[in-house]
Amino acid sequence: MTVDDAPREQLTSMLSDDALDRLRAHVGTLTTAVNRHLEAALPWYMQLTTDERASLRLIAQRGIQGLLNWLENPESRHMPLVNDLLGSAPTDLMRSISLQRALQLIRSIVEEVERSLPGMLAEPDRRPMLEAILRYSREVAFGVADVYARAAESRGAWDSRLEALLVDAVLRAESRDQIDSRASAVGWRSTGGVAVVVGRAPVQADAVFISELRRQCVRFAADAVVGVQGDRLVLLLGGVTDLQEGLARVMPRFGDGSVVYSTTDRPISEAPPCAQAANSGFSAVAAWRRAPNPAAAEDLLPERALAGDEAARAALRRGVFEVLESAGNALLETVGAYVEDGHSLEATARELFVHPNTVRYRLRRVCDLTGWDPTEPRDAYVLQTALAVGRL
């Protein structure tokens, strides 16, 4: 059997007691050599703080001592990576360096140990020791990667909880200070301009799905927060460059049904009315059979008003009824007669005892003042609803 084919127990038996004694005697020497090699081989190493470098030196020392323990106890299946080898170092390690740099660190330590240790051993022990270093370093690398992976999963789950709290705070219209605090916790940077998107959540809306959707959103928004509220998927987007193009990208991520959005140029702490409009619009969008998808909440004012949204009623009253009432020139009377007489200019003119051209002029004025064109069926429905709300 060759060294390469030997299991760890037989590999260890190929090492003499003298090899383990020499390794035990030179742990300090190897640690010093490794530290010098790290300073020379890793450009970023000297940019760390003194405490961070001390933490990494401790990792190197425990790594070499861990190799000795690993060789001295071949019958044990316990890898001392987290508890015995690194101790508290996983936390220190992740605070100091990224996974990429952690693996560079391990590679550099292994390189120096492979270079320095064989010269301290007798010739028969050198090849078995190199094989042992290779196997041990492989286990260490996998172990460190596992530590980082589990930390990333935990951090991702925690981030998702923080984002869910922010979404809930905005939808519930909590205090500005509370929303600002939660936004700061998730790293929200935008100072103005928020878009809220609401649609049906897909069946599989797990942490992986939320993470992937968030990555898609940050391609067209400076800030992106994803939350699942019951059967609804809610996006809070800040600093959006092109909302329509961005929505086209993420629409397939939503479940069946319509998606409704609303926007505001105010900061996130003042976004609750925008979020409530989008949420209300999603509840009411089914009443508009030909609603576009995605639909703007501001285009769903009649449906939202019928569903009991007081903000939509107020918008119709202020934006249509009160505007026409204050404009005079019988605009309220004209548009009311027009939408109730089958959209007929002649019938409206006869009812008001005016010329049809006068009716045309007044309807154009209505469009100029409100933004809704009475000659368009959908806009006429909005105006008719606004008149009813205003009269009530």
For 310-391, which CATH class?
mainly alpha
**What is the phi-psi region of residue 229: left when phi exceeds 0, alpha when psi lies from -120 to 50, beta otherwise?**
beta
Laid out side by side, the sheet with 221-229 consists of 221-229, 232-240, 194-200, 260-264, 295-296
Q: Among residues 376, 353, 352, which one has the least CA distance to residue 364?
A: 376
pTM of the model: 0.62
CA distance 39 to 34: 9
Per-residue pLDDT of the chain (392 residues; tens, 9 = 90+): 444 445 555 555 567 788 888 888 888 888 888 888 888 888 888 888 888 788 778 878 877 887 777 777 765 544 444 445 555 444 555 555 676 777 787 788 888 888 888 888 888 888 888 888 888 777 777 777 766 666 655 555 556 677 888 888 898 888 999 998 888 888 898 888 899 999 999 988 777 788 888 889 988 999 999 988 888 999 999 988 889 999 999 999 999 999 999 999 999 999 999 999 999 999 999 999 999 999 999 999 999 999 999 999 999 999 999 999 888 778 889 999 998 888 888 898 898 899 999 999 999 999 999 999 999 999 999 999 999 999 88
User: What CATH number belongs to 190-299?
Assistant: 3.30.70.2730
The residue extents of the domains of the chain are 8-153, 190-299, 310-391
Q: What's the CATH architecture for 8-153?
A: Orthogonal Bundle (1.10)
CA distance 246 to 392: 40
Q: Among residues 288, 216, 236, 292, which one has the least CA distance to residue 259?
A: 292
DSSP assignment of 258-297 equals: --EEEEESS-GGG-HHHHHHHHHHHHHGGG-TT--SSEEG
CA distance 242 to 270: 21
CA distance 9 to 11: 5
CA triplet 209, 210, 211: central angle to 5 degrees?
90
Contact 219, 246 (CB under 8 A): yes
